[in-house]
Amino acid sequence: MDELYLDNIDEFVNDHDKIVTYKWLSLTLGVHVNTAKQMLYHYLDHKRKESSDPLHATYLVSGKFVDNGQTSHKVSVVKEDQLEDVKSKMSLIVSVHVYSVQKALLKDSGPLYGVDYDAVKDNLKNCSRYSAIRCASAVPRSSVELQQARHTQPAPAPEPEHKKSTTNGDATPASKPSTKPQKSIMGMFANKSALKNQDSGKEVKSEQKEDAPVVDEPKSKPAAKANPMMNFFGTQAAKKTVKQEEAAPSSSSSSAEQRRPSSQPEETHAAAAAAAAAAVEPPKNSKKDSRSKTKRMEDSDSEEEKMDKKKRRRIKKPEPDSSDEDVIPDSPQQMETREASPSPKEEVEPVSQSHQGNCEMKTRKRRRVLKSRTFVDDEGCIVTEKGYESESYSEAEDDVPKDPIPAKRPASSKPDEKKSQKKASANSNKGTKQASIMGFFQKK
Protein backbone atom coordinates (compact mmCIF):
# COMPACT_ATOMS: atom_id res chain seq x y z
CA MET A 1 0.00 0.00 0.00
CA ASP A 2 1.28 3.39 -0.78
CA GLU A 3 2.24 5.91 1.79
CA LEU A 4 -0.61 8.29 1.18
CA TYR A 5 -2.58 6.77 3.95
CA LEU A 6 -0.18 8.17 6.48
CA ASP A 7 -1.00 11.64 5.29
CA ASN A 8 -4.68 10.88 5.31
CA ILE A 9 -4.63 9.65 8.84
CA ASP A 10 -2.50 12.58 9.83
CA GLU A 11 -5.04 14.92 8.39
CA PHE A 12 -7.88 13.25 10.19
CA VAL A 13 -6.19 13.15 13.52
CA ASN A 14 -4.39 16.43 13.64
CA ASP A 15 -6.29 18.75 11.42
CA HIS A 16 -9.79 17.61 12.00
CA ASP A 17 -9.32 16.43 15.55
CA LYS A 18 -11.16 13.30 14.78
CA ILE A 19 -11.11 10.03 16.58
CA VAL A 20 -9.95 7.54 14.00
CA THR A 21 -11.13 4.04 14.73
CA TYR A 22 -10.10 1.18 12.54
CA LYS A 23 -13.61 0.56 11.47
CA TRP A 24 -14.20 4.14 10.50
CA LEU A 25 -10.93 4.19 8.65
CA SER A 26 -11.73 1.05 6.73
CA LEU A 27 -15.10 2.39 5.68
CA THR A 28 -13.71 5.78 4.79
CA LEU A 29 -10.73 4.63 2.80
CA GLY A 30 -12.41 1.54 1.48
CA VAL A 31 -9.95 -0.99 2.75
CA HIS A 32 -10.19 -4.22 4.62
CA VAL A 33 -10.29 -3.88 8.37
CA ASN A 34 -7.04 -5.68 8.84
CA THR A 35 -5.37 -3.27 6.52
CA ALA A 36 -6.87 -0.40 8.46
CA LYS A 37 -5.51 -1.80 11.69
CA GLN A 38 -2.08 -2.03 10.21
CA MET A 39 -2.31 1.46 8.87
CA LEU A 40 -3.14 2.79 12.28
CA TYR A 41 -0.30 0.90 13.81
CA HIS A 42 2.20 2.21 11.33
CA TYR A 43 0.93 5.69 11.71
CA LEU A 44 1.24 5.55 15.44
CA ASP A 45 4.70 4.15 15.21
CA HIS A 46 5.78 6.70 12.68
CA LYS A 47 4.41 9.65 14.55
CA ARG A 48 5.77 8.64 17.85
CA LYS A 49 9.22 8.38 16.46
CA GLU A 50 9.31 11.63 14.69
CA SER A 51 7.47 14.14 16.79
CA SER A 52 6.35 14.74 20.26
CA ASP A 53 2.75 15.58 19.58
CA PRO A 54 0.73 13.75 22.12
CA LEU A 55 -1.20 11.02 20.47
CA HIS A 56 -3.42 8.68 22.34
CA ALA A 57 -4.47 5.27 21.26
CA THR A 58 -6.81 2.60 22.42
CA TYR A 59 -6.24 -1.04 21.81
CA LEU A 60 -8.41 -4.05 21.46
CA VAL A 61 -7.25 -7.06 23.38
CA SER A 62 -8.91 -10.40 23.17
CA GLY A 63 -7.96 -13.62 24.71
CA LYS A 64 -8.65 -16.23 27.28
CA PHE A 65 -9.19 -15.05 30.74
CA VAL A 66 -9.45 -17.09 33.87
CA ASP A 67 -11.60 -15.74 36.62
CA ASN A 68 -12.14 -17.80 39.75
CA GLY A 69 -11.42 -20.90 37.85
CA GLN A 70 -13.80 -20.03 35.08
CA THR A 71 -12.30 -19.57 31.71
CA SER A 72 -13.85 -17.15 29.38
CA HIS A 73 -12.97 -15.35 26.26
CA LYS A 74 -12.71 -11.69 26.95
CA VAL A 75 -12.54 -8.93 24.43
CA SER A 76 -11.71 -5.48 25.70
CA VAL A 77 -10.93 -2.08 24.40
CA VAL A 78 -8.37 -0.59 26.67
CA LYS A 79 -6.47 2.61 26.93
CA GLU A 80 -2.84 2.50 26.18
CA ASP A 81 -1.69 2.80 29.73
CA GLN A 82 -3.74 -0.17 30.75
CA LEU A 83 -2.66 -2.30 27.87
CA GLU A 84 0.17 -4.12 29.53
CA ASP A 85 -1.84 -4.59 32.63
CA VAL A 86 -4.71 -6.22 30.84
CA LYS A 87 -2.42 -8.29 28.71
CA SER A 88 -0.70 -9.68 31.72
CA LYS A 89 -3.98 -10.69 33.27
CA MET A 90 -4.98 -12.78 30.35
CA SER A 91 -3.90 -16.35 30.26
CA LEU A 92 -3.73 -16.51 26.50
CA ILE A 93 -3.77 -13.56 24.19
CA VAL A 94 -5.50 -14.18 20.91
CA SER A 95 -5.27 -10.77 19.36
CA VAL A 96 -4.13 -7.28 20.11
CA HIS A 97 -4.52 -4.46 17.71
CA VAL A 98 -4.98 -0.76 17.60
CA TYR A 99 -8.58 0.23 18.02
CA SER A 100 -8.40 3.96 17.60
CA VAL A 101 -6.03 6.88 17.42
CA GLN A 102 -6.89 10.36 18.57
CA LYS A 103 -5.31 13.50 19.85
CA ALA A 104 -7.46 13.92 22.90
CA LEU A 105 -7.29 11.73 25.92
CA LEU A 106 -10.71 10.19 26.09
CA LYS A 107 -12.31 10.07 29.44
CA ASP A 108 -14.81 7.45 28.53
CA SER A 109 -15.68 5.16 25.72
CA GLY A 110 -18.76 6.98 24.59
CA PRO A 111 -17.23 8.88 21.68
CA LEU A 112 -15.72 5.71 20.27
CA TYR A 113 -19.19 4.47 19.63
CA GLY A 114 -20.36 7.77 18.25
CA VAL A 115 -17.58 7.80 15.72
CA ASP A 116 -18.59 4.55 14.16
CA TYR A 117 -22.27 5.16 14.38
CA ASP A 118 -22.60 7.49 11.46
CA ALA A 119 -20.09 5.69 9.33
CA VAL A 120 -21.87 2.42 9.76
CA LYS A 121 -25.26 3.98 9.31
CA ASP A 122 -24.26 5.32 5.97
CA ASN A 123 -23.04 1.96 4.85
CA LEU A 124 -25.70 -0.09 6.47
CA LYS A 125 -26.19 -2.55 3.70
CA ASN A 126 -22.60 -3.41 3.26
CA CYS A 127 -20.92 -2.46 6.48
CA SER A 128 -19.37 -5.87 6.58
CA ARG A 129 -17.84 -5.41 3.21
CA TYR A 130 -14.45 -5.03 4.72
CA SER A 131 -14.99 -7.18 7.66
CA ALA A 132 -12.90 -10.15 8.53
CA ILE A 133 -15.77 -12.17 9.93
CA ARG A 134 -17.41 -14.34 7.39
CA CYS A 135 -20.04 -16.99 7.34
CA ALA A 136 -21.18 -18.42 4.08
CA SER A 137 -24.61 -19.32 5.29
CA ALA A 138 -25.33 -15.90 6.70
CA VAL A 139 -27.49 -14.14 4.20
CA PRO A 140 -30.13 -11.58 4.85
CA ARG A 141 -33.52 -13.07 5.26
CA SER A 142 -36.08 -12.56 2.61
CA SER A 143 -39.04 -10.45 3.54
CA VAL A 144 -41.23 -13.52 3.77
CA GLU A 145 -39.02 -15.03 6.35
CA LEU A 146 -38.94 -11.76 8.20
CA GLN A 147 -42.69 -11.69 8.40
CA GLN A 148 -42.76 -15.19 9.73
CA ALA A 149 -40.16 -14.39 12.26
CA ARG A 150 -42.17 -11.46 13.45
CA HIS A 151 -45.33 -13.45 13.76
CA THR A 152 -43.75 -16.12 15.81
CA GLN A 153 -42.13 -13.65 18.11
CA PRO A 154 -45.22 -12.27 19.83
CA ALA A 155 -46.74 -15.71 20.20
CA PRO A 156 -44.51 -16.99 22.95
CA ALA A 157 -44.97 -13.81 24.87
CA PRO A 158 -47.97 -14.92 26.90
CA GLU A 159 -46.01 -17.83 28.16
CA PRO A 160 -44.77 -17.63 31.65
CA GLU A 161 -41.66 -15.77 32.34
CA HIS A 162 -39.61 -18.73 31.45
CA LYS A 163 -39.56 -17.76 27.88
CA LYS A 164 -38.43 -14.31 28.46
CA SER A 165 -36.85 -13.92 25.15
CA THR A 166 -39.82 -12.83 23.18
CA THR A 167 -41.68 -11.18 25.95
CA ASN A 168 -39.85 -8.10 25.22
CA GLY A 169 -41.37 -8.18 21.84
CA ASP A 170 -44.65 -7.55 23.50
CA ALA A 171 -43.20 -4.82 25.48
CA THR A 172 -42.70 -2.98 22.28
CA PRO A 173 -45.81 -0.90 22.69
CA ALA A 174 -44.10 0.70 25.58
CA SER A 175 -41.08 1.43 23.56
CA LYS A 176 -40.53 4.55 21.71
CA PRO A 177 -41.81 5.00 18.25
CA SER A 178 -38.27 4.99 17.08
CA THR A 179 -38.18 1.27 17.47
CA LYS A 180 -40.82 0.81 14.86
CA PRO A 181 -38.70 1.76 11.93
CA GLN A 182 -36.04 -0.42 13.34
CA LYS A 183 -38.22 -3.43 12.96
CA SER A 184 -37.94 -3.63 9.28
CA ILE A 185 -34.21 -3.53 9.12
CA MET A 186 -33.67 -5.15 12.39
CA GLY A 187 -35.98 -8.04 12.05
CA MET A 188 -33.09 -10.27 11.55
CA PHE A 189 -31.26 -8.73 14.38
CA ALA A 190 -34.26 -9.32 16.54
CA ASN A 191 -32.91 -11.86 18.88
CA LYS A 192 -29.54 -10.38 18.76
CA SER A 193 -30.95 -7.15 19.87
CA ALA A 194 -32.69 -8.91 22.64
CA LEU A 195 -29.35 -9.82 23.94
CA LYS A 196 -28.09 -6.41 23.29
CA ASN A 197 -31.06 -4.90 24.83
CA GLN A 198 -30.55 -6.83 27.88
CA ASP A 199 -27.32 -5.30 28.03
CA SER A 200 -28.62 -1.93 27.31
CA GLY A 201 -31.49 -2.38 29.57
CA LYS A 202 -29.13 -3.06 32.28
CA GLU A 203 -27.60 0.30 32.35
CA VAL A 204 -30.52 2.35 32.43
CA LYS A 205 -29.54 5.30 30.62
CA SER A 206 -26.11 4.31 29.91
CA GLU A 207 -25.91 2.52 26.77
CA GLN A 208 -22.60 1.39 27.46
CA LYS A 209 -20.52 -0.54 25.32
CA GLU A 210 -19.68 -2.37 28.36
CA ASP A 211 -23.22 -3.29 28.64
CA ALA A 212 -22.91 -5.27 25.57
CA PRO A 213 -21.33 -8.18 27.18
CA VAL A 214 -23.59 -7.85 30.05
CA VAL A 215 -26.50 -8.15 27.88
CA ASP A 216 -25.29 -11.40 26.79
CA GLU A 217 -25.65 -12.48 30.27
CA PRO A 218 -28.34 -14.95 30.56
CA LYS A 219 -30.82 -12.50 31.60
CA SER A 220 -33.18 -13.98 29.19
CA LYS A 221 -33.60 -17.60 28.80
CA PRO A 222 -30.58 -18.88 27.17
CA ALA A 223 -32.36 -21.77 25.63
CA ALA A 224 -34.63 -19.57 23.71
CA LYS A 225 -31.78 -17.40 22.79
CA ALA A 226 -29.51 -20.06 21.63
CA ASN A 227 -31.10 -20.49 18.30
CA PRO A 228 -31.42 -16.89 17.36
CA MET A 229 -27.96 -16.38 18.59
CA MET A 230 -26.77 -19.02 16.23
CA ASN A 231 -28.50 -17.35 13.40
CA PHE A 232 -26.91 -14.12 14.11
CA PHE A 233 -23.59 -15.39 14.68
CA GLY A 234 -22.42 -15.33 11.18
CA THR A 235 -24.17 -12.20 10.15
CA GLN A 236 -23.20 -8.65 10.34
CA ALA A 237 -24.81 -8.57 13.66
CA ALA A 238 -22.17 -10.83 14.91
CA LYS A 239 -19.67 -8.29 13.94
CA LYS A 240 -21.54 -5.82 15.97
CA THR A 241 -21.83 -8.13 18.84
CA VAL A 242 -18.19 -8.68 18.81
CA LYS A 243 -17.69 -5.04 18.74
CA GLN A 244 -20.18 -4.58 21.45
CA GLU A 245 -18.64 -7.19 23.49
CA GLU A 246 -15.31 -5.78 23.02
CA ALA A 247 -16.65 -2.46 23.88
CA ALA A 248 -18.33 -3.77 26.88
CA PRO A 249 -15.44 -5.38 28.56
CA SER A 250 -13.29 -2.63 27.41
CA SER A 251 -15.42 -0.14 29.08
CA SER A 252 -15.28 -2.07 32.20
CA SER A 253 -11.64 -2.39 31.93
CA SER A 254 -11.05 1.14 30.88
CA SER A 255 -10.46 3.26 33.82
CA ALA A 256 -12.26 6.24 34.87
CA GLU A 257 -15.51 6.34 33.34
CA GLN A 258 -17.76 4.06 35.20
CA ARG A 259 -18.81 5.23 38.53
CA ARG A 260 -20.01 1.86 39.26
CA PRO A 261 -16.68 0.20 39.49
CA SER A 262 -15.59 2.64 42.08
CA SER A 263 -16.59 0.30 44.77
CA GLN A 264 -16.26 -2.80 42.80
CA PRO A 265 -13.31 -5.06 42.73
CA GLU A 266 -10.80 -4.80 40.03
CA GLU A 267 -11.56 -4.60 36.44
CA THR A 268 -11.55 -8.24 35.82
CA HIS A 269 -14.13 -8.81 38.42
CA ALA A 270 -15.94 -5.79 37.37
CA ALA A 271 -16.11 -7.11 33.90
CA ALA A 272 -17.48 -10.38 35.02
CA ALA A 273 -19.76 -8.88 37.51
CA ALA A 274 -20.88 -6.28 35.13
CA ALA A 275 -21.83 -8.97 32.78
CA ALA A 276 -23.90 -10.54 35.43
CA ALA A 277 -25.37 -7.30 36.42
CA ALA A 278 -26.10 -6.36 32.94
CA ALA A 279 -27.94 -9.53 32.57
CA VAL A 280 -30.48 -8.11 34.89
CA GLU A 281 -31.92 -6.17 32.10
CA PRO A 282 -34.71 -8.00 30.48
CA PRO A 283 -34.20 -8.91 26.94
CA LYS A 284 -35.35 -5.60 26.10
CA ASN A 285 -36.90 -5.58 22.81
CA SER A 286 -36.10 -8.03 20.25
CA LYS A 287 -37.22 -5.51 17.77
CA LYS A 288 -35.05 -2.85 19.12
CA ASP A 289 -32.29 -1.54 17.12
CA SER A 290 -29.46 -3.83 17.66
CA ARG A 291 -27.23 -1.70 15.63
CA SER A 292 -26.50 0.66 18.39
CA LYS A 293 -23.98 -1.16 20.34
CA THR A 294 -24.68 0.27 23.65
CA LYS A 295 -28.30 0.46 22.97
CA ARG A 296 -30.04 1.33 26.07
CA MET A 297 -33.67 1.56 25.73
CA GLU A 298 -35.09 4.11 27.99
CA ASP A 299 -38.26 2.33 28.54
CA SER A 300 -36.74 -0.91 29.49
CA ASP A 301 -39.36 -2.75 31.33
CA SER A 302 -39.12 -3.75 34.81
CA GLU A 303 -40.21 -7.08 33.57
CA GLU A 304 -36.89 -8.51 33.93
CA GLU A 305 -36.92 -7.39 37.45
CA LYS A 306 -39.96 -9.40 37.88
CA MET A 307 -38.12 -12.41 36.82
CA ASP A 308 -36.82 -14.65 39.40
CA LYS A 309 -33.46 -13.45 40.34
CA LYS A 310 -32.17 -16.84 41.09
CA LYS A 311 -33.21 -18.09 37.78
CA ARG A 312 -31.45 -15.29 36.10
CA ARG A 313 -28.30 -16.01 37.81
CA ARG A 314 -28.21 -19.52 36.64
CA ILE A 315 -28.99 -18.75 33.14
CA LYS A 316 -25.94 -19.19 31.16
CA LYS A 317 -25.42 -16.99 28.28
CA PRO A 318 -25.54 -18.87 25.07
CA GLU A 319 -22.08 -19.03 23.80
CA PRO A 320 -22.27 -19.89 20.23
CA ASP A 321 -18.72 -19.04 19.79
CA SER A 322 -15.70 -18.20 21.67
CA SER A 323 -15.94 -14.65 20.68
CA ASP A 324 -18.56 -13.94 23.27
CA GLU A 325 -17.90 -12.54 26.56
CA ASP A 326 -17.73 -13.44 30.08
CA VAL A 327 -19.48 -16.21 31.73
CA ILE A 328 -21.80 -15.40 34.46
CA PRO A 329 -20.03 -15.37 37.72
CA ASP A 330 -21.06 -18.07 40.04
CA SER A 331 -21.31 -16.19 43.21
CA PRO A 332 -24.74 -14.78 43.67
CA GLN A 333 -23.21 -12.21 45.87
CA GLN A 334 -21.34 -10.62 43.17
CA MET A 335 -24.42 -10.66 41.14
CA GLU A 336 -26.25 -8.95 43.84
CA THR A 337 -23.90 -6.12 44.24
CA ARG A 338 -23.52 -5.86 40.57
CA GLU A 339 -27.18 -5.81 40.05
CA ALA A 340 -27.51 -3.12 42.52
CA SER A 341 -25.34 -0.78 40.69
CA PRO A 342 -26.76 -1.26 37.27
CA SER A 343 -30.31 -1.54 38.31
CA PRO A 344 -30.43 1.72 40.13
CA LYS A 345 -29.21 3.25 37.02
CA GLU A 346 -31.79 1.59 35.02
CA GLU A 347 -34.50 3.84 35.92
CA VAL A 348 -37.00 4.38 33.29
CA GLU A 349 -40.32 4.91 34.86
CA PRO A 350 -40.61 1.76 36.82
CA VAL A 351 -44.16 2.32 37.80
CA SER A 352 -45.57 2.78 34.40
CA GLN A 353 -43.50 -0.06 33.19
CA SER A 354 -44.87 -2.32 35.78
CA HIS A 355 -48.29 -1.54 34.52
CA GLN A 356 -47.28 -2.50 31.08
CA GLY A 357 -45.73 -5.60 32.39
CA ASN A 358 -48.86 -6.42 34.21
CA CYS A 359 -50.95 -6.40 31.17
CA GLU A 360 -48.70 -8.74 29.38
CA MET A 361 -47.85 -11.17 32.05
CA LYS A 362 -50.79 -13.06 33.06
CA THR A 363 -49.19 -15.06 35.78
CA ARG A 364 -49.92 -14.74 39.38
CA LYS A 365 -46.40 -14.16 40.34
CA ARG A 366 -45.61 -11.24 42.44
CA ARG A 367 -43.82 -8.69 40.47
CA ARG A 368 -40.80 -6.89 41.54
CA VAL A 369 -40.78 -3.28 40.80
CA LEU A 370 -37.95 -0.90 41.04
CA LYS A 371 -38.93 1.74 43.52
CA SER A 372 -37.09 4.60 45.05
CA ARG A 373 -36.61 4.75 48.74
CA THR A 374 -35.38 7.86 50.40
CA PHE A 375 -33.80 7.41 53.74
CA VAL A 376 -31.14 8.78 55.97
CA ASP A 377 -28.12 6.56 55.97
CA ASP A 378 -25.68 6.11 58.75
CA GLU A 379 -23.65 9.09 57.75
CA GLY A 380 -26.56 11.34 58.18
CA CYS A 381 -27.00 11.82 54.48
CA ILE A 382 -30.25 11.62 52.74
CA VAL A 383 -29.97 8.95 50.19
CA THR A 384 -32.40 7.87 47.60
CA GLU A 385 -32.00 4.34 46.49
CA LYS A 386 -33.80 2.15 44.17
CA GLY A 387 -34.78 -1.18 45.42
CA TYR A 388 -36.90 -4.02 44.32
CA GLU A 389 -40.16 -4.08 46.05
CA SER A 390 -43.04 -6.32 45.55
CA GLU A 391 -45.59 -4.66 43.49
CA SER A 392 -48.47 -5.25 45.76
CA TYR A 393 -46.58 -3.55 48.48
CA SER A 394 -47.91 -6.17 50.79
CA GLU A 395 -44.61 -7.13 52.19
CA ALA A 396 -41.26 -5.60 52.24
CA GLU A 397 -39.49 -8.91 52.41
CA ASP A 398 -38.51 -8.71 48.86
CA ASP A 399 -37.13 -5.31 49.12
CA VAL A 400 -33.50 -5.79 48.47
CA PRO A 401 -31.73 -2.65 49.32
CA LYS A 402 -29.07 -2.01 46.88
CA ASP A 403 -25.98 -0.21 47.79
CA PRO A 404 -25.26 1.58 44.66
CA ILE A 405 -23.29 4.62 44.08
CA PRO A 406 -24.47 6.62 47.05
CA ALA A 407 -22.92 4.18 49.38
CA LYS A 408 -19.75 4.47 47.50
CA ARG A 409 -19.92 8.16 47.41
CA PRO A 410 -18.69 8.80 50.90
CA ALA A 411 -15.56 7.01 49.99
CA SER A 412 -14.79 9.51 47.33
CA SER A 413 -13.96 13.05 47.99
CA LYS A 414 -17.19 14.40 46.83
CA PRO A 415 -18.14 17.32 48.92
CA ASP A 416 -21.79 17.03 48.45
CA GLU A 417 -23.09 13.90 49.95
CA LYS A 418 -26.61 14.33 48.92
CA LYS A 419 -26.98 12.13 45.98
CA SER A 420 -29.91 10.62 44.41
CA GLN A 421 -30.08 8.09 41.73
CA LYS A 422 -30.96 9.05 38.34
CA LYS A 423 -34.17 10.83 38.49
CA ALA A 424 -37.07 9.39 36.79
CA SER A 425 -38.27 12.78 35.88
CA ALA A 426 -35.19 13.68 33.98
CA ASN A 427 -35.36 10.49 32.10
CA SER A 428 -38.98 10.57 31.52
CA ASN A 429 -38.60 14.10 30.44
CA LYS A 430 -36.21 13.06 27.84
CA GLY A 431 -38.23 10.11 26.92
CA THR A 432 -41.44 11.94 26.59
CA LYS A 433 -39.85 14.83 24.87
CA GLN A 434 -38.33 12.61 22.31
CA ALA A 435 -41.52 10.83 21.74
CA SER A 436 -43.49 13.97 21.41
CA ILE A 437 -41.21 15.50 18.87
CA MET A 438 -41.11 12.39 16.78
CA GLY A 439 -44.81 12.02 17.04
CA PHE A 440 -45.20 15.57 16.05
CA PHE A 441 -43.56 15.05 12.75
CA GLN A 442 -45.04 11.70 12.12
CA LYS A 443 -48.50 13.11 12.48
CA LYS A 444 -48.09 14.62 9.12
Binder to other proteins among 79, 209, 284, 402 (CB under 8 A)? 209
CA-closest candidate to residue 216, choices 187, 202, 196: 196
Q: Which residues contact 266 (CB under 8 A, 6 or more apart)?
A: none
Nearest approach, Cβ of residue 337 and other proteins (Å)? 17
Nearest approach, Cβ of 84 to other proteins (angstroms)? 24
Of residues 195 and 307, the one with the C-beta less far from other proteins:
195
Nearer to other proteins, 8 or 432 (CB): 432
State which of residues 296, 306, 368, 402 lies at the interface with other proteins (CB under 8 A).
Answer: 296
Site string for other proteins, 270-289 (x = CB under 8 A): -------------------x
Q: Mask of contacts with other proteins, 73-112, x by CB under 8 A?
A: -----------------------------xxxxxxxxxx-
Asked if 370 and 387 touch (Cβ cutoff 8 Å), the reply is yes
- Minimum distance from residue 51 beta carbon to other proteins (Å): 15
- Smallest Cα–Cα separation from 101: which of 79, 85, 119? 79
Interacting span for other proteins (CB under 8 A) from 159-167, 235-243, 367-375, 420-428: 420-428
Question: Which amino acid would we find at residue 180?
Answer: K
Does position 295 interact with other proteins (CB under 8 A)? The reply is yes
Contact 388, 370 (CB under 8 A): yes
Query: Could you tell me the sign of the dihedral formed by the alpha carbons of 90, 95, 99, 103, in that order?
Result: positive
For 395, counting Cβ atoms within 10 Å of its Cβ (0-12 exposed, 13-18 middle, 19+ buried), the class is exposed
Q: What spatial distance separates the first Cα and last Cα of the chain, rounded to whole Å?
A: 51
d(CA 388, CA 390): 7
Radius of gyration from C-alpha coordinates of the chain:
22
Stretch that binds other proteins, among 78-86, 142-150, 200-208, 322-330 (CB under 8 A): 200-208
Measured between alpha carbons, how far is 235 from 187 in angstroms, rounded to an integer?
13
**Which residues are paired to 21 by β-bridges?**
100
Instruction: Examine residue 420 and tell whether it contacts other proteins (CB under 8 A).
Output: yes
Task: Return the range that interacts with other proteins (CB under 8 A); candidates 234-242, 332-340, 358-366, 422-430.
Answer: 422-430
444 binds other proteins (CB under 8 A): yes
Residue 104 beta carbon to other proteins: minimum distance, rounded to whole angstroms: 3
Which residues does 3 contact at the CB level (< 8 Å), separation at least 6? none
CA distance 291 to 185: 10
Q: Could you say whether residue 114 binds other proteins (CB under 8 A)?
A: yes
312 binds other proteins (CB under 8 A): no
Give the binding site for other proteins (CB under 8 A).
Answer: 17-19, 102-111, 113-115, 117-118, 203-209, 256-257, 259, 262, 289, 292, 294-296, 298, 345, 405, 409, 412-414, 416, 418-423, 426-427, 429-430, 433, 436-438, 440-441, 444
